[in-house]
Structure 1
Amino acid sequence: MAKIGDTLKPFTTQAYHQGKFVEVSDADVKGKWAVFFFYPADFTFVCPTELEDLADIYPKLQDMGVEVFSVSTDTHFSHKAWHDSSEAIGKINYYMLGDQSHTIANNFDVLRDGQGVADRATFVVDPDGVIQVLEQTCEGVGRNAAELLRKVKAAQYVRANPDEVCPAKWEEGEKTLAPSLDLVGKI
């Protein structure tokens, strides 16, 4: 799997976005914060619950300058059909990338060997195209969008304040830490 510090690799694909088919590439991501939200397949079970949860916080992420790209190895046509037929998926306003060529899943190294579907994985990429946060869960374990939102806030805070770090359970506005020799053994 791609690692913290890896850089976004080139890709171009078709996506379903707000009632239209659009082309999306790595060039569209550069210069902004982005979430790549991989899931195994359209018309499944855990996936729609996660995508709906993400749709609910999408306006907050947009307010923070973050764009969201859900990615599966399905086509953009399948994404549209799912969007039109599912109440949960119908809430989505972020980009739904089709990756039938497996380019994006291979770029992030989340393609399941011999299965042609992506693992359940999330990557937060900074404006320089560098992975700052990643999460991967097994097939039956869904992700929590509120926790993703917290991690994005922390990543943005640390980028803006490079001499500080965010401790466990940190929430926006709470105390951070300034790593120093004085803190060693005192926490």
Structure 2
Amino acid sequence: MALINTKIRPFTAQAYKQGKFIEVTEADVLGKWAVFFFYPADFTFVCPTELGDVADHYADLQSRGVEVFSVSTDTHFTHKAWHDSSDTIGKIQYTMIGDPAGVVTNNFEVMREGQGLADRATFIVDPDGIIQAMEITAEGIGRDATDLLRKIKAAQYVRSHPGEVCPAAWKEGEETLAPSLDLVGKI
């Protein structure tokens, strides 16, 4: 999986967003920060807790210029049905991409071979369409939107401050590092 620092691949997909069916392409991602939030399937167990957690942080993400695209191999029709029947999923305002043909899922290399389901995976994409971060967890391990937001802040900081990097557990406003020969062996 050598996707870090690569450009997202072209796709066209149907999606459900705020009561409407829409078409989404890779062009919709360019010019803004984006999160692709893959999950195995609608109407399951860990997935709605994660999607709800992202929904709870969506306003914070939007305030940072980040758009969220959740993706599963379900259809956009199934996303609507789930949205209409679940209080947790009903609060989602971001785009829910249906990927029954697996184009988007395969583009990000997170299709479970022989299962037709996406891995539990998150990708942070910069405004140029370049993947800056990714996380993949096992089936039973849910992700944390608070940490996702922290990683986005770090990625945005590094992009706007060339020559600086964010150390482990960095939080917005904390000191960063400026890699140099003088810093080698001093940390």
Q: TM-score range by the shorter chain?
A: over 0.9
- What residue in structure 1 maps to residue 66 of structure 2? 66
- What residue in structure 2 maps to residue 102 of structure 1? 102
TM-score, normalised to structure 1's length? 0.99
- What residue in structure 1 maps to residue 22 of structure 2? 22
**In 1: Cα distance, 2:96 partner to 2:5 partner:** 25
**In 1: Cα distance, 2:4 partner to 2:24 partner:** 23
* Aligned residue runs from structure 1 range 127-166, under 5 A: 127-166=127-166
What per-residue deviation string (whole Å, max 9, x for no partner) do you get for residues 1-30 of structure 1? 452111110001110000100111111111
User: Alignment partner of 1:141: what SS?
Assistant: coil
Identity %: 72
**Residue type matched to 1:135 in 2?**
E
- What residue in structure 2 maps to residue 174 of structure 1? 174
**In 2: Cα distance, 1:100 partner to 1:2 partner:** 24
**Residue type matched to 1:170 in 2?**
W
Report the RMSD for the aligned CA atoms in angstroms: 0.7
Shift of 1:156: 0.3
Shift of 1:162: 1.2
**In 2: Cα distance, 1:168 partner to 1:114 partner:** 37
- What residue in structure 1 maps to residue 34 of structure 2? 34
Structure 2: 5+ residue runs without aligned partners? none
- What residue in structure 1 maps to residue 83 of structure 2? 83
**Residue type matched to 1:82 in 2?**
W
**In 1: Cα distance, 2:51 partner to 2:177 partner:** 33
**In 2: Cα distance, 1:6 partner to 1:28 partner:** 17
**Residue type matched to 2:9 in 1?**
K
**Residue type matched to 1:105 in 2?**
T
What per-residue deviation string (whole Å, max 9, x for no partner) do you get for residues 33-74 of structure 1? 100000000000000000000001110010000000000000
Contact 1:120 1:137 in 2 (8 A): yes
Q: Report the CA distance shift for 1:87/1:106 in structure 2 as closer, same or farther (over 3 A).
A: same
Q: Report the CA distance shift for 1:5/1:27 in structure 2 as closer, same or farther (over 3 A).
A: same
Shift of 1:125: 0.4
**Residue type matched to 2:22 in 1?**
V
**In 1: Cα distance, 2:169 partner to 2:144 partner:** 14
User: Alignment partner of 2:136: what SS?
Assistant: strand
Shift of 1:98: 0.2
Contact 1:30 1:129 in 2 (8 A): yes
**In 2: Cα distance, 1:6 partner to 1:185 partner:** 31
Structure 1: 5+ residue runs without aligned partners? none
**In 1: Cα distance, 2:131 partner to 2:150 partner:** 16
User: Alignment partner of 2:143: what SS?
Assistant: coil
**In 1: Cα distance, 2:2 partner to 2:65 partner:** 23
TM-score, normalised to structure 2's length? 0.99
**Residue type matched to 1:157 in 2?**
Y
**Residue type matched to 2:184 in 1?**
V
**Residue type matched to 2:147 in 1?**
E
